[in-house]
Structure formats: structure tokens, C-alpha cells
Amino acid sequence: MNQLLLSGKSIVSRVRSVLCTVAVIGMTTPAAIAAPAPPAPPAPKASSHKPSSVGGEFIPANSAEASADLRTDQQFRTLFQTWKKMDARPNGVIAIPSVHPVEKLQFTSNFGIRTDPFRGTAAMHAGVDIPGPVGTPIYATADGIVDHASWQGGYGNMVEINHGKGIATRYGHLSKILVADGARVTRGQLIALMGSTGRSTGSHLHYEVRMDGHAVNPVPFLTTGDYLTASQDHAIHQIPVSSDGPAAQD
């Protein structure tokens, strides 16, 4: 019993470490995306490919919505508690958006305050922009139910998936939507094709992760897949997960 309790504390410690290391708000340069200590993989760097492919809803930097999205302490305490609850459920980890929404992951715009590509003024960017050709496959990053699959203002064609436990993901500027409202989707399922609809300067995916209605930095979710898999193994098979990351397997 004591060993299991220690293993659980190690999981909690690792989650806290990952969040504190890579959940940086207001990043403006590729160098600002830092990965946690090995063996967690490094965060993807901003791409020089199609640098004009950016977009998203206009959220003034001094607006109430931007302020709410930047309250990192409250948001990530909530995220931490949610992850801790999911670690205790044998199949809970599957609902955390922990795989890449595209095969080739690059960034042209990061999460946080940036210069709006249309107005040239400071604005909140509630997600990350991932460039690619029109028609690039877009995949669900976790199991869930489609809340919206339609035109959504500045997002253009957008899919929003409810993953439960207050977690949702948004996929914007799509050229084609391949799922319908109310559909149940699985992690890795093809849900749409990349495009440049809505408030967009070129073909890319605007990807958001939301906690309890507020946008949070997607980078931690995109860089901790190995850890989450190990956490799921721990919950099912009680394989230890150390505070330094997933235990090496023979």
C-alpha cells in the first residue's frame, strides 16, 4: 500500500513539474517554448514554413476574456486536479488531449499576447497556429463528443470536441469538416481537413485546449504524451512512474 501511495505521489509530482516547466503564458519567440527535463520530448519549434499562415478570433489584450485566459495559477491548479483525478481512473488518460492534431507539428504563432495579424495591435491568441497545405488531415487529440461542427465567426469552419472533466479542444480555419454535432469521436480519428476559412491569412490549423471555458496553453498537452501513456499503464498495471518521468522498460 505504501508503495502505491508513493507511486501516486510521483505521478502528481511529475504532472506539477511538466506544467510548471512548459505552461508559459505570453510566449512570443520560438526559444520561449522549453521542454521539461528528459525523458519528456522537447516542444516543437516555430516553423519558418508559411510564416504568413496565422489567424484566429480578435481578443483585445486588455479585455476581460484575455485577462481570464492569462490567469495561469487558477487555470493550471484546476488542470492539475483534473489530471490527478484521471490518473486514478484506469481508462481516464484517454480523455486528455495528448496526441498531435496533425502529422507534422510546427508553429507559426504561439499562445499568449501577440501582434494581431490584421489590426497590428496587441491581442490575445487563445491557441497555437500549425501551418500546412490545404487538405492536410486533422485528427481528434482525445476521445470525446463533438459540441460544434460548423462555421464559427473568426474561426471559420470549426470543430469543438468536449472531452469531459471540463476539457475541450477547438480546431479552426478548416477547409472541410468530416464530423457532425453530437458525434462521438476517438483519439486519432480523422475529423477535418486543414484550410484558411474565417479570420486567417493562409492555410493552417488554429488549435486550442480549453479548461472550464477558458483557453490554456496547448503546449503541455503536445509534449507529454509519453508521460500520459505511462500514467495510464500505472493505473492499469500499477507500473511505477517516477518523478523524473516514465520508468524505463526492459
Q: What is the pLDDT of residue 170?
A: 97
Q: Print pLDDT tens along the chain (250 aa).
A: 444 334 444 444 444 444 443 333 333 333 333 333 333 334 444 333 444 555 555 445 454 554 554 554 355 545 555 555 554 555 555 678 888 999 988 888 888 888 887 888 888 888 999 999 999 999 999 999 999 999 999 999 999 999 988 889 999 999 999 999 999 999 999 999 999 999 899 999 999 999 888 888 888 777 655 545 554 554 444 444 333 333 333 3
pTM, to two decimals:
0.63
Q: What is the pLDDT of residue 80?
A: 53
Cell reading at 71: 490567469
**Extents of the domains making up the chain:** 2-238
Q: The domain 2-238: what is its CATH number?
A: 2.70.70.10
